[in-house]
Each structure stands twice: as structure tokens, then as C-alpha cells.
């Protein structure tokens, strides 16, 4: 696997990911997705929607606001509890997450520990400041990670609101709306893709942990007592989503949270870890959240969140199973998983992004062999294919260089228009991975491309 610095460089030079606000010296830990990065992100989102919503007849889509009534965050517990344990080195004034300090020191998992317990652990184990080596940390305090802003012209506490730190709550507060308008019966799920914001104390590792990111969350509502079955069902779906899109098994591992470390609302949680350059780390989480969220919103809003089963006449507050993933962590994983430097039989090096055609920024490159003779035909072919697929047209440099360029950005098929094409409407179709070439009729191209995109 490539090193993180190499990936950052690759992502920048090929137009996947740029430093945010670069011409002004940058804004720390913000990233802009360039021409290829935005295509990749869109493809990841559309693949997730295909598998988790479209191909699952129980599930529907939602697009709720980023700004929500502050009572939502009171009910969900984010206003009170959505915090990280913050400590500061008195000697160099650097700030750290206390649980990270402990984990980096001796791999102890401090999830669920009180601030006092973490502080005592740091003192008794003489954990040094990673920045200056001193042993002089301030007591730990809880730092709320929600971004605050104001709605309207008066910047007072009455107008203070928050950017959502997860998309999930927008789903819970619309549970009754969706139930009424979509005529769904339990079990059913609601999928949402959208931006979330967290004022992380220690963002980093490129786009792994940022303060602004996109989440893809499914809240699956089911009858109490059936949640374990659905938890296993969605957990398997998550793994098969990743592997069917080419993530290698050796790059994945599952971490079941031990009972004593579960959040107060959860009766089961599993994280799918990906092998990032710094080690296995969380890519995707699934939590069985019981009826915690709907109950909390029922109490806060005084709106009933009960479901009446039309067949059995039973009334209950549904349980929820929630798979939740960050789009950027998937971007990072698919790039790390696929980027390779190959040695060819000729001794040449070939950089290839082995990414599933469904996710590849471009499915097809249309290349006229000789610009003067074949460009008109190739241009028309490009325009026709571009109605259905993400395509790129390239007529500069020799054909070998053009193939290499497309390999390195993951373009799955290169279609070359040559002298023979003008005679019989056939083209050369070259496969990125095998580098094999076949001759195909232009009338078959759509079918050939479509077949590669199935996953």
C-alpha cells in the first residue's frame, strides 16, 4: 500500500483533492474535491444509495436541513454529552484529546472512562506531552464539538443554533412525517447523505478526520426484539458493499464493541476497520440504538413517536439499527486500496488506480489515434457515450502515454478510434487492469460499459 504522503501528493497532482483555501495559505484541515475527486465522491454516494435504498424496497431517501431547532440537540444529548476529553500541556500550550494520548502511549482503550479516571491514568503512567515531552497536563475538561452559529441579525443566545454533527437526527425528527406520507410499515429504513460538522480537537490524517465531512446514514426502524436480526443483516450488507466494490479482505477487520464500552443507548455496536497507513482504524460503524432516539424526541417534543401495527394492533416505539459512514473515509479507502505501482515485463513502471468501474471517475476514455484523421469521429462517439457515462476525451500525445495517463486515474476502458473505425465502425477497447485489447462494434459499447459497472 502507498504511504499517506504519496497518496496526498497523488490526490493533489491528479485533481482528486486540493488543500482548502490554498491561494490564501490554506485553512487547516479543510479540503476541496477537484474534478476527479468530485466524480469519485458522487459515484460512491450513488453506489451507496443504489445498495442501501434503491435495491432495498423497504428503504426511502431523505434530505433534511443542516440547521435544526436547538431542542433537537437537547433531546439527542448532543448539547450535554457530545464532547471530547480535552487536556492542555502547561509547558507548550498544545491541546490534546486525553483518550488519544492514552491510546498512543500504551494502546489502552479509554472509551467510556470518566475525565478524572483518564487524568489519573495520565499522571500515574507519567505519559509525556507528545509535543515537548513535559509531564504537566491541565485537568481534563469536556469540550463540546458542535459548531455554533446564529440565525438572523441578532447574535444573542435566543438566536444561537448549531450545525448538525450527524445527519441521523434529521431522520428521527421526520419519522412520523415519513410514516404518514410514504405508507411504509415497520420494518423500513430512511437513508440520508449530507454534510455534518464537528469541531474536532485533533483533526488529521488527510481527509480521515476533518471538521466538515459528509455522512451516509441509514436509520432502520424495526420491531423491538428483531433488532439483532437486522443488525446482522445490515452488518453483512456493509461488508459486501465494500468487498463487491473491490476492497481487499485483508484490508478490512471487524471490531465488536465490548458490552461495557457500549454507549448508554446501544445494545450492540460494530466498527468496520480499514487498514490505513497508520494501522487499522474506523471506516464505518453500525449501532443498534434501541428506542433511545425516538423516545427522547417524544419526551422533548411531546409528539407521539409510537407506531401502530395495522395487522396486530400493537403499539410500540420502534427500535433503530444505524449503519453510518463518512464519504471521505470511503474516498481515502478506495484510493489506498487501489493505487499501485506495477513493474511491467518491459521493465517500465506503470501507475494504476485499480478501482471498481462503478466508482472510477471516468468509465471510458475516447482517444482518436491520429488527431487530424480521427478526431471528428471520436468527438461524436464521446458525445454519444457521455449522455450515459462519465467519459473523457483525450487527443494529445502518443497513444501509449494517453493509456498510461488514464491508467493512473483509474479510467476503466480506453476506446481508440483508428483508420479501421472509419471503414467498419469498430474500435479498439483496452482494459485498464489486463491491458488486453479487443475489437468491438460501436453499437455494442454501451452494453460493454454497462456490464463492467455491475457490483
Binding site residues, ligand GAP, CB under 6 A: 166, 168, 198, 200, 209-210, 213, 215, 217, 282-285, 322, 324-326, 328-329
Task: Please identify, using beta-carbon distances, which residue of 217 and 407 lies nearer to ligand GAP.
Answer: 217
Closest CA to 340 of 209, 430, 248, 429: 248
Q: Please, are residues 178 and 111 in contact by the beta-carbon 8 Å criterion?
A: no
Q: Which residues contact 215 (CB under 8 A, 6 or more apart)?
A: 166, 167, 192, 193, 194, 195, 196, 324, 325, 326, 327
- Report, in Å, the least distance between residue 46 CB and ligand GAP: 18
- Report, in Å, the least distance between residue 188 CB and ligand GAP: 18
- Report, in Å, the least distance between residue 105 CB and ligand GAP: 22
Closest CA to 213 of 177, 180, 166: 166
- Report, in Å, the least distance between residue 439 CB and ligand GAP: 44
Cell of 70: 436547538
Task: Please identify, using beta-carbon distances, which residue of 325 and 378 lies nearer to ligand GAP.
Answer: 325
Q: Which residues contact 128 (CB under 8 A, 6 or more apart)?
A: 134, 135
Distance CA 17, CA 10 (A): 9
Task: Please identify, using beta-carbon distances, which residue of 270 and 452 lies nearer to ligand GAP.
Answer: 270
Task: Please identify, using beta-carbon distances, which residue of 217 and 418 lies nearer to ligand GAP.
Answer: 217
Closest CA to 166 of 180, 152, 182, 146: 146
Q: Which residues contact 322 (CB under 8 A, 6 or more apart)?
A: 168, 217, 218, 219, 220, 286, 287, 288, 289
Q: Which residues of 204-216 are buried (b: 16+ CB within 10 A; e: fewer)?
A: ebbbbbbbbbbbb
Task: Please identify, using beta-carbon distances, which residue of 281 and 373 lies nearer to ligand GAP.
Answer: 281
- Report, in Å, the least distance between residue 11 CB and ligand GAP: 16
The angle that helices 327-338 and 4-13 make with each other, rounded to 10 degrees, is: 100
Task: Please identify, using beta-carbon distances, which residue of 215 and 251 lies nearer to ligand GAP.
Answer: 215
Q: Please, are residues 320 and 220 in contact by the beta-carbon 8 Å criterion?
A: yes
- Report, in Å, the least distance between residue 136 CB and ligand GAP: 28
Q: What angle do CA 262, 264, 268 make, to 5 degrees?
A: 40
Task: Please identify, using beta-carbon distances, which residue of 221 and 284 lies nearer to ligand GAP.
Answer: 284
Task: Please identify, using beta-carbon distances, which residue of 145 and 453 lies nearer to ligand GAP.
Answer: 145
DSSP H stretches of helix in 14-89:
35-49, 70-76, 78-81
Task: Please identify, using beta-carbon distances, which residue of 196 and 452 lies nearer to ligand GAP.
Answer: 196
- Report, in Å, the least distance between residue 285 CB and ligand GAP: 4
- Report, in Å, the least distance between residue 155 CB and ligand GAP: 26
Task: Please identify, using beta-carbon distances, which residue of 169 and 428 lies nearer to ligand GAP.
Answer: 169
- Report, in Å, the least distance between residue 213 CB and ligand GAP: 4
- Report, in Å, the least distance between residue 412 CB and ligand GAP: 26
Q: Which residues of 336-345 are buried (b: 16+ CB within 10 A; e: fewer)?
A: bbbbeeeeee
Which residue, judged by CB position, is nearest to ligand GAP in the bound state? 326
Distance CA 179, CA 302 (A): 17
Amino acid at each position: 500500500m502507498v504511504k499517506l504522503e504519496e497518496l496526498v501528493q497523488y490526490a493533489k497532482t491528479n485533481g482528486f483533492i486540493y488543500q482548502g483555501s490554498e491561494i490564501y495559505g490554506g485553512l487547516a484541515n479543510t479540503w476541496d474535491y477537484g474534478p476527479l475527486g468530485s466524480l469519485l465522491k458522487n459515484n460512491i454516494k450513488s453506489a451507496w444509495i443504489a445498495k442501501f435504498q434503491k435495491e432495498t424496497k423497504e428503504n426511502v431517501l431523505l434530505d433534511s436541513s443542516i440547521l435544526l431547532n436547538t431542542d433537537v440537540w437537547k433531546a439527542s444529548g448532543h448539547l450535554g454529552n457530545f464532547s471530547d476529553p480535552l487536556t492542555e500541556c502547561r509547558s507548550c500550550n498544545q491541546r490534546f484529546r486525553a483518550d488519544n494520548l492514552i491510546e498512543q502511549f500504551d494502546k489502552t482503550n479509554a472509551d467510556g472512562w470518566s475525565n478524572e479516571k483518564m487524568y489519573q491514568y495520565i499522571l500515574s503512567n507519567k505519559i509525556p506531552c507528545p509535543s515537548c515531552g513535559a509531564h504537566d497536563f491541565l485537568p481534563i475538561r469536556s469540550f463540546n464539538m458542535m459548531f455554533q452559529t446564529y440565525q438572523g441579525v441578532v447574535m444573542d443566545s435566543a438566536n444561537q443554533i448549531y450545525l448538525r454533527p450527524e445527519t441521523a437526527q434529521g431522520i428521527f425528527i421526520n419519522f412520523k412525517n415519513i410514516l404518514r406520507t410514504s405508507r411504509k410499515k415497520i420494518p423500513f429504513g430512511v437513508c440520508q447523505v449530507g454534510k455534518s460538522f464537528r469541531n474536532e480537537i485533533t483533526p488529521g490524517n488527510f481527509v480521515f478526520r476533518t471538521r466538515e465531512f459528509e455522512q451516509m446514514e441509514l436509520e432502520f426502524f424495526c420491531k423491538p426484539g428483531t433488532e439483532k436480526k437486522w443488525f446482522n443483516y445490515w452488518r453483512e450488507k456493509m461488508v459486501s458493499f465494500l468487498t463487491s466494490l473491490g476492497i481487499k479482505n485483508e484490508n478490512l477487520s471487524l471490531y465488536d464493541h465490548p458490552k461495557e464500552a457500549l454507549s448508554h443507548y446501544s445494545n450492540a455496536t460494530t466498527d468496520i476497520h480499514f487498514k490505513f497507513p497508520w494501522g487499522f482504524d474506523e471506516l464505518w460503524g453500525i449501532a443498534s440504538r434501541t428506542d433511545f432516539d425516538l423516545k427522547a424526541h417524544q419526551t422533548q417534543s411531546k409528539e407521539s413517536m409510537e407506531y401502530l401495527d395495522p395487522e396486530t394492533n400493537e403499539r410500540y416505539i420502534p427500535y433503530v439499527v444505524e449503519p453510518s459512514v463518512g464519504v471521505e473515509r470511503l474516498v481515502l479507502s478506495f484510493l489506498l486500496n487501489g493505487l499501485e505501482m506495477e513493474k511491467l515485463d518491459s521493465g517500465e513502471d506503470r501507475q494504476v488506480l485499480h478501482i471498481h468501474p462503478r466508482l472510477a471517475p471516468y468509465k471510458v476514455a475516447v482517444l482518436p489515434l491520429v488527431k487530424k484523421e480521427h478526431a471528428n469521429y471520436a468527438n461524436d462517439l464521446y458525445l454519444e457515450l457521455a449522455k450515459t457515462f462519465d467519459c473523457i476525451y483525450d487527443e494529445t500525445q502518443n497513444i501509449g502515454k494517453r493509456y498510461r495517463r488514464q491508467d493512473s486515474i483509474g479510467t476503466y476502458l480506453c476506446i481508440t478510434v483508428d483508420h479501421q473505425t472509419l471503414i467498419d465502425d469498430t474500435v479498439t477497447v483496452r482494459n485498464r487492469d489486463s491491458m488486453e485489447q479487443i475489437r468491438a462494434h460501436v453499437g455494442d459499447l454501451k452494453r460493454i460499459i454497462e456490464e463492467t459497472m455491475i457490483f
